[in-house]
Structure 1
Amino acid sequence: MTGVRTALVIGGGIAGPVTALALRKAGIEATVHEAHPGPSDGVGAMLTVAPNGLNALKVVGADDVVRAVGQPVPGMVMGDSRGNRFVESPGLSGLPASQAMARSDLFRVLHDHAVANGVRVEHGKRLVGVDETPTGVTARFADGSTATADILIGADGIRSTVRTLIDQDAPGPEYGGVLSFGGIATGSGVPAEPGVMHFVFGAAFIGYWAQPDGTIVWFGSLPHAEPMTSAQAREVPSADWMARLRELYTDDDLASTLLAHSDPDELFVTGPMEMMPPVPHWHRGRMVLVGDSAHAPSSSSGQGASLAVESAIELARCLRDLPDASSAFAAYENLRRPRVESIAAAAARTNRKKAGEDAAPSGPPSFPTPEQMLGPVHRHLIDWDQTVTA
């Protein structure tokens, strides 16, 4: 058992509450410090928690609360805008269905589940600095307050403050060449079976799924050479973005139909598709990174939330089983880095196609089988009861 007894978790999004829950399960008292003044509401658009993420959430008893706010989408269809289907799958055998949901709903239920299980969450705590001693680490916050514990965990997202405190030369997020958008189409007549995620490759990529009320949620990407922040993208009138998207999909009957039946005022302007390049240093001294602060793949992976949850669980296992923070952090990085970087690299290749940087192949696209495509990612299981060795 490690000598770590207390932890400061910086960030209350996805990785933060799950990390704190897993640490409590491992016998380590953790407090979450979140910069925003209260629980996030209406933050972000939609996301998917994949089977591997649900299996990791089960370790801390959070899988059912996540399912309660999600829509099961076990099936997958890959095809083109003319209705051709190249890959169809009802879901991988033996795995739970992926769950689609609003990002803000996922934030809310994880926060509430953590609090209900004894995790203290303090809001309005924006980290500005850290002081380390041989026996502990003290976080300094913008409101003048401080907090001290044995270790500090940066779960503070793709623009992590903790990452720069660990390494002032650490890279920041990279722009993927496209801006991401989403919307809800009503009365479009586009066929979409319930519980099936459609990925359509035509003049440009678009994905969609049907909601229980018959409306269709869609998501797409607009190639944009110059990077923009999310705030800058949202300053542009949504009607202007919708006009550009409709122009992009002019020659794509299915996508243009979805957009024609979508209200510009309800357009989700998600902003730039970003990802973290490989981060050289995940830990230093008594500080360590978890989730997007260390390994944010682009949204093309469909794995951002699930990988963050996996890493939270694995970090807690390592701290539970290894004799000190240094060896625990090293084992955690060794467990996680190969997997997350492989998934991020695959998503980066997808981004290049969406941005038009890779030439489209002639003839029908070629796809691996669903098991080949998704099995290695979705079937990943964490055995909480297995002892971690250095």
Structure 2
Amino acid sequence: MSHPNRVLVVGGGVTGGVLSLALHQQGVEVVLVDLRESLGGVGHGITLQGNALKAFRSVGIYDKLAERGFAFSHLRMRTADGHVIAEIPTPPMGGPDLPGTMGALRGDLADVLAEEVVAAGVDVRLGTTITAIDDHGDSVTATLSDGTTETVDLLVGADGIRSKVREMIGIETQPHPVGMGIWRTIAKRPAELDCSELYYGGPKYKAGYTPISEDLCYAFLLEENLDRSMVGEGPRGAELKERGQGYGGTWGAIRDSLSDDAVVNYQWIEAICVESPWYRGRSIIIGDAAHACPPLIAQGAAMCAEDAVILAEMLTSGDKVEDVLPAFMERRFPRVKMVLDNSLTLAEWEIHPETEGADPGRIMGQTLHALVSPA
């Protein structure tokens, strides 16, 4: 067999959803399992760069997402009191006919992707995961949590930074804290808010926001890792307003507009980079399961979506699966490692802004310009 006829995808987020669509569109039978009871989304905002939009367009979900999101083509950096430091044009990472950047609700992205996966006829098994993997050399049998088994040509772990598949195939690499935590919330978009903006030099590591629709924006605040008991989501607007004091301009206005019971999420930022092969036999991990980066350059979803589109392209090229898996990692690893390393350097600089040579704008610009080259 020169290409897979049947693939099991574990995880129905951005990576697994895009991969399922891309493979199905090339005639591959896909079984998609996800522990959740629904593939639809909830959550805060997300910043999508042009290379993510290119991947979404390739599987047919870009137009629907664009109807809901907010497109723009530059990034503005400000001092804590709101004065402009620099404005950086976003390079055309998705090509000249796509926006440089788009803000969106995570829930909208998840909903659009889920609708297309279901409409395409992908075999979706919700409330289900895998409990065992038996590799036969030219195929793999997965035992599912409902007691059934699936024998497929390839098993793909697209199950995120805490991947169960990664552990099951014997990869021991674990995620690690970066040293900063992030507060996130959704607020009304002020009329003047026309792009992502970042505020430096204040009492915390950084504050910022991104427009995600005509009416809404996604605001965030980065600071040190607080106690683990602080992690989670709830009616914590008053808490964010208190912790976000010391910033002016539009960010200060957004902060002050929050109700005390606004829904706010706080998480530690973590990262992982699996440098050993991402595959074992006929199983492979991709996306955040293999390489999750801090969200400081807004490339997390883009790297996941690129993985999915490229893996589908290579699997259906006519080459043997056993040749595709190492070739896929060889093609992807330098690009995702560059993004991850630069994101970690940026995190270090934002934690320690006194570091000699620290220049967040420069490393962000260099990274985004490097990503103009096709994946």
Q: TM-score, normalised by structure 1?
A: 0.85
Residue in structure 2 matched with residue 84 of structure 1 by the alignment: 83
**TM-aligned CA distance change 1:192 to 1:352, over 3 Å:** farther
Residue in structure 2 matched with residue 311 of structure 1 by the alignment: 307
Q: Which has the higher strand share?
A: 2
Spell out, residue by residue over 1:37-79, the C-alpha distance to the aligned partner (whole angstroms, 9 max, x if none).
Answer: 222342x321122101111222222221222232213221112
Deviation at 1:360, TM superposition (A): 5.7
Residue in structure 2 matched with residue 220 of structure 1 by the alignment: 221
Residue in structure 2 matched with residue 207 of structure 1 by the alignment: 208
Residue in structure 2 matched with residue 375 of structure 1 by the alignment: 369
* Structure 1 range deviating more: 137-146 or 9-18: 137-146
Q: Helix, strand or coil for the counterpart of 2:304?
A: helix
**Count of aligned residue pairs for this structure pair:** 368
Q: Helix, strand or coil for the counterpart of 1:301?
A: coil
What one-letter code is carried by the residue in structure 2 that aligns with 1:375? Answer: H
**TM-aligned CA distance change 1:302 to 1:286, over 3 Å:** same
Residue in structure 2 matched with residue 133 of structure 1 by the alignment: 136
Residue 61 of structure 2 corresponds to residue 62 of structure 1: yes
Unaligned runs of 5+ in 1: 383-390
1:227-266 alignment runs, 5 A limit? 228=228, 233-234=231-232, 238=236, 241-242=239-240, 245-246=243-244, 249-250=245-246, 252-254=247-249, 255-266=251-262
Work out which of the residue numbers 273, 282, 287 in structure 2 matches 1:286.
282
Residue in structure 2 matched with residue 173 of structure 1 by the alignment: 175
CA contact (8 A) 1:92 1:370 kept: no
**TM-aligned CA distance change 1:71 to 1:180, over 3 Å:** same
Deviation at 1:302, TM superposition (A): 0.3
CA distance in 1, matches of 2:191, 2:158: 40
CA distance in 2, matches of 1:75, 1:280: 36
Deviation at 1:2, TM superposition (A): 2.2
CA distance in 1, matches of 2:360, 2:301: 28
Spell out, residue by residue over 1:198-249, the C-alpha distance to the aligned partner (whole angstroms, 9 max, x if none).
Answer: 11112131112346666653111121265x38xx512787257326513xx3
Residue in structure 2 matched with residue 336 of structure 1 by the alignment: 332
CA contact (8 A) 1:49 1:306 kept: yes
Residue 22 of structure 2 corresponds to residue 35 of structure 1: no
What one-letter code is carried by the residue in structure 2 that aligns with 1:53? Answer: A
Residue in structure 2 matched with residue 152 of structure 1 by the alignment: 155
What one-letter code is carried by the residue in structure 2 that aligns with 1:281? Answer: P
What one-letter code is carried by the residue in structure 2 that aligns with 1:349? Answer: T
Q: Which runs of 4+ in 1 moved over 6 A?
A: none
Spell out, residue by residue over 1:137-173, the C-alpha distance to the aligned partner (whole angstroms, 9 max, x if none).
Answer: 12122222222211101111111111112224x2121
What one-letter code is carried by the residue in structure 1 that aligns with 2:345? Answer: R
Q: Helix, strand or coil for the counterpart of 2:127?
A: coil
CA distance in 2, matches of 1:281, 1:120: 28
Residue in structure 2 matched with residue 47 of structure 1 by the alignment: 46
Residue in structure 2 matched with residue 321 of structure 1 by the alignment: 317
* Structure 1 range deviating more: 60-69 or 367-376: 367-376
Q: Helix, strand or coil for the counterpart of 1:49?
A: strand
What one-letter code is carried by the residue in structure 1 that aligns with 2:287? Answer: G
What one-letter code is carried by the residue in structure 1 that aligns with 2:51? Answer: N
Spell out, residue by residue over 1:270-298, the C-alpha distance to the aligned partner (whole angstroms, 9 max, x if none).
Answer: 41111113342300101011211111111
CA contact (8 A) 1:242 1:267 kept: no
Residue 5 of structure 2 corresponds to residue 9 of structure 1: no
CA distance in 2, matches of 1:152, 1:269: 33
Residue in structure 2 matched with residue 116 of structure 1 by the alignment: 119
CA contact (8 A) 1:233 1:271 kept: yes
Q: Helix, strand or coil for the counterpart of 1:264?
A: coil
**TM-aligned CA distance change 1:311 to 1:12, over 3 Å:** same
CA contact (8 A) 2:286 2:307 kept: yes
CA contact (8 A) 1:71 1:100 kept: yes
CA contact (8 A) 2:183 2:267 kept: yes
**TM-aligned CA distance change 1:207 to 1:239, over 3 Å:** closer
Deviation at 1:347, TM superposition (A): 0.9
1:292-307 alignment runs, 5 A limit? 292-307=288-303
Q: Helix, strand or coil for the counterpart of 2:32?
A: strand
Unaligned runs of 5+ in 2: none
CA contact (8 A) 2:46 2:218 kept: no
CA contact (8 A) 1:185 1:263 kept: no
CA distance in 1, matches of 2:144, 2:368: 42
CA distance in 2, matches of 1:49, 1:212: 13
Work out which of the residue numbers 325, 349, 354 in structure 2 matches 1:359.
354
